[in-house]
Chain A
Amino acid sequence: EAQVTQNPRYLITVTGKKLTVTCSQNMNHEYMSWYRQDPGLGLRQIYYSMNVEVTDKGDVPEGYKVSRKEKRNFPLILESPSPNQTSLYFCASRDPGQGYNEQFFGPGTRLTVL
């Protein structure tokens, strides 16, 4: 089954404790992206990657890091989480093609930073 998986699905942590949210896709997509979703604000892009070893900042990259060492994986790293990073996070992938293609989303990770 074609899918994007994320782990963990739920995470409660404390300020300053480094964490990693994993994302993996089995569709051989070159393009992957991380979003955060907050009430009333819609999806905001954190980072994206057009291919292996190529990453770029989105609209809200501060406080986040990513890496793309393999095509299928795109982990999101919070080196020193803060309460304002409490949010619902989604990983997505797509076949870039002409850029028109649909994005496939993971199930989401609900992060709470105390």
Chain B
Amino acid sequence: SQKIEQNSEALNIQEGKTATLTCNYTNYSPAYLQWYRQDPGRGPVFLLLIRENEKEKRKERLKVTFDTTLKQSLFHITASQPADSATYLCALALNSNYQLIWGAGTKLIIKP
């Protein structure tokens, strides 16, 4: 079956350290992958997009990698801050119709 997996357990990170979140998928050949941030009771907000032919993408303190051989994307937040605490969602888009398929999200907690 087709699946997208993100760590279901919350990730606790000390402020200032690098937080790394994982998105694994099976049986998909995505055209691209997106990462979103979601705060409690609010809609997801787009952060980064990475295409199938890109290995890495950066935006300020954020970095995303995409390994289509491993079927995995890693999302890194460097110099993490308590304000980075949120749930982070990954979403795959398939070539066929560009509809997004979503992971359940990982809750990130940055402790001061």
Given the known A-B contacts A42-B89, A42-B105, A43-B102, are A99 and B43 also in contact in the complex, defined by CB atoms under 8 Å?
no
Residue total for B at the interface (Cβ-Cβ under 8 A): 23
Q: Which residues of the partner chain A approach B34 to less than 8 Å between Cβ atoms?
A: 102
Contacts of A99 in B (CB 8 A): 31, 93, 98
A100–B51 touching, CB < 8 Å: yes
- B102 in contact with A42 (CB, 8 Å): yes
User: Are B46's CB and A43's CB within 8 A?
Assistant: no
Contacts of A41 in B (CB 8 A): 104
Residues on A with C-beta less than 8 A from B31 are 99-100
Q: Which of B79-98 contact A (CB under 8 A)?
A: 89, 91, 93, 98
A34 within 8 A of B: no
Are A42 and B103 touching (Cβ within 8 A)? Answer: yes
- A102 and B104 contacting across the interface, CB-CB below 8 Å: no
Please count how many residues in chain A sit with their CB below 8 Å of the partner chain's CB atoms.
23
A108: which B residues are within 8 A, CB to CB?
A: 41-43
**Is the CB–CB distance between B93 and A100 below 8 Å?**
yes
B contact residues around A92 at 8 Å (CB): 43
Task: Say yes or no: is A81 at the interface (Cβ < 8 Å to chain B).
Answer: no
Q: Are A42 and B104 in contact (CB under 8 A)?
A: yes
**For residue A58, which residues in chain B have a CB less than 8 angstroms away from its CB?**
99
Q: Which residue of B lies closest to A91 (CB)?
A: B43
Q: Provide the B14-52 mask, 1 if CB < 8 A to any CB of A, else 0.
A: 000000000000000001101000000111111001010
Interface centre among A40, A43, A92, A106 (most CB of B within 10 A): A43
Q: List 8 A-B contacts (CB under 8 A).
A: A41-B104, A42-B105, A96-B98, A100-B51, A103-B44, A103-B46, A108-B41, A108-B43
The 9 A-B residue pairs whose C-beta atoms are closest, nearest first, are: A105-B43, A99-B98, A102-B46, A42-B104, A43-B102, A42-B102, A105-B44, A90-B43, A108-B43
